[in-house]
Chains A and B, each alone.
Chain A
Amino acid sequence: MITITNLSKIYGQKEKTIVALDTVSFNVPQGEIFGVLGQSGAGKSTLIRCINLLERPTSGSIHIKEQEITALKGLALRKERQRIGMIFQHFNLLNSRTVADNVAFPLEVMGYSRSARQARVGELLELVGLDGRARAYPAQLSGGQKQRVGIARALAAKPDVLLSDEATSALDPQTTLSILELLRDLNRTMGLTILLITHQMDVVKQICHQVAILEAGKLIEQGRVSALAAQPDSRLAQTLFPHPESYRPRAGATVVTISFTGDATDEPILSNLIRNFDINVNILSGNIENFGDLRLGQLQVELVGGQIEAAIDYLKKLGLRVEVNR
């Protein structure tokens, strides 16, 4: 759906230049939610703003469907932008307009009649769960409601793709979840393709099918979220499951770090350790996440007494990664 090839963006001229994007390439398939994860200053905003040419890339190409975006200008570019929805960290609503008039704005720009606008606005407000607030002004809404207006506005012209520039970064965790759920629903029910950029791992974890990690303008990793999370040496996995602090084992105890990489297992391993190997188990730390059917993460336990060696063999045979620290 979106194909980005060798995209580079260099700010400034002559001696003082900043390479904001360095030959970035990736492909967002139709109907997927694709996340670009990176820290502040990594070039995420530059990337997403290049896609609708709010920023002209220095080199490289961007295709949406068959259309080469970077070849467009003037009216043709403005028409193409109407096919690309965009939502923002700070919502960017017009304070002088009601909720309904904000949502109607892109339709007005496209020359829809008043009655056509009204009908569509009604649908959209219902879609984002804001029916009843049509006559309110943005200043009277909560952050989450403002973002819902932003989403309704972005979808008004039935775009092919939705671009999201840190859409949940200004929201509290609860509201973030509800907005992410809304985006996921839109993706599922309408088949909406979403390209989002974020610095929040949680956003990637919650809704992204694929992720690309951007660091200092370069893509350093890219793939399906579950596949990367299951690879313990991937950047994503290391960020998701930071290696736990190593505890110094007490005398007579063994510290074991068990990594779940997705292949195991519904077995109640702690119970089995206790029951079958006569071991006392003490949990030191744990960080387990479910990705669909996959259970990923790490568990650090202290084992005392019993048949320690046999127990470690048992864990390894289950397909778990086991690190032993005596």
Chain B
Amino acid sequence: MDWSYWSALLPDLWQATQDTAQMVVISTIFTIIGGLLLGILLVITDRDGLVEVRWLHAILGFIVNVGRSLPFIILLVAITPFTRLLVGTTIGTTAAIVPLTIAAIPFFARLAESSLREVDNGVVEAARAMGCNGWQIIVKVLVPEALPSLILGVAVTIISLIGYSAIAGAVGAGGLGDLAIQYGYERFDTGVMVVTVVLLVVIVQIIQFAGSWGAAKIARH
């Protein structure tokens, strides 16, 4: 084992980890906001929903399906003009956040939709009987009651985002995926590739564990 080689690499690894974390954290925040809103809209506009608007439900459902069916690498390339418009550049971690968020919103929206649908209709009915308006039912009943399931969905979404971010890395966004490709694929340095992969696996495990733990803690009662 060549220690000077590894210690020279350490700053790169650390930088890549930070880049991945930055991309994933920021796009997760936007994804939760956008996906939850979209998931709520999908539920309440559906048949027998709180505010049934079938045409809106159909349109939103269609958009979500299109978003879900595009491979990430294609989406990444296809929206570059939009990305440039939004953040002024198409390379680097900031630019990667745009396609990451756009890819993850429909994904999380579907997960959020199914979590919200699991909420017992009887509880919603009880809330209506107590005089709740639609907004109160969403924020006081649907979301809190679906929270454990939503948290699991967030964990799954973060893990997907880590996967996507590695792909984004390949087109110059930096991060662990980029590092693995630079060293492992372009320079045939399998040592670095193995280290990055191990790092990614550990991060994914931690997030899944944290998500399951958080969901279980809330759901216990």
Contact = CB atoms under 8 A, between A and B. Distances in A.
Mostly, the B contact residues are helix
Chain A's interface size range is 20 to 34
A95 B120 CA distance: 10
Contact of A108 (B120, B129, B140, B218): B140
B144 A54 contact: no
A292 B221 CA distance: 44
B140 A140 contact: no
B122 A92 contact: yes
A69 B146 CA distance: 33
Contact of A95 (B125, B129, B132, B221): B221
Given A90-B122, A94-B123, A95-B145, A110 B131 contact: yes
A81 B129 contact: yes
B130 interface: yes
Contacts of A105: 127, 130, 140
A88 interface: yes
Contacts, number: 65
Nearest to A74: B133
Contacts of A92: 120, 122-123, 125-126
A139 B221 contact: yes
Contacts of A106: 130-131
B128 interface: yes
Interface centre among A54, A90, A94 (most CB of B within 10 A): A94
Given A54-B125, A88-B122, A139-B221, A81 B144 contact: no
A163 B129 CA distance: 10
Contacts of B141: 94
Given A82-B131, A96-B144, A109 B123 contact: no
A241 interface: no
B221 A93 contact: no
A106 B129 CA distance: 10
Interface centre among B127, B130, B131, B141 (most CB of A within 10 A): B130
A86 B129 contact: yes
Interface in A144-187: 153, 157, 163
Interface of B: 120, 122-123, 125-133, 136, 140-141, 144-145, 147, 218, 220-221
Closest 10 CB pairs of A and B: A137-B221, A92-B126, A81-B131, A78-B131, A82-B131, A92-B122, A86-B129, A96-B144, A106-B130, A92-B123
21 contacts: A54-B125, A54-B128, A54-B129, A78-B132, A81-B129, A86-B130, A88-B125, A88-B126, A92-B120, A92-B125, A94-B123, A95-B145, A96-B144, A96-B218, A96-B221, A106-B131, A109-B130, A109-B140, A139-B221, A140-B221, A157-B130
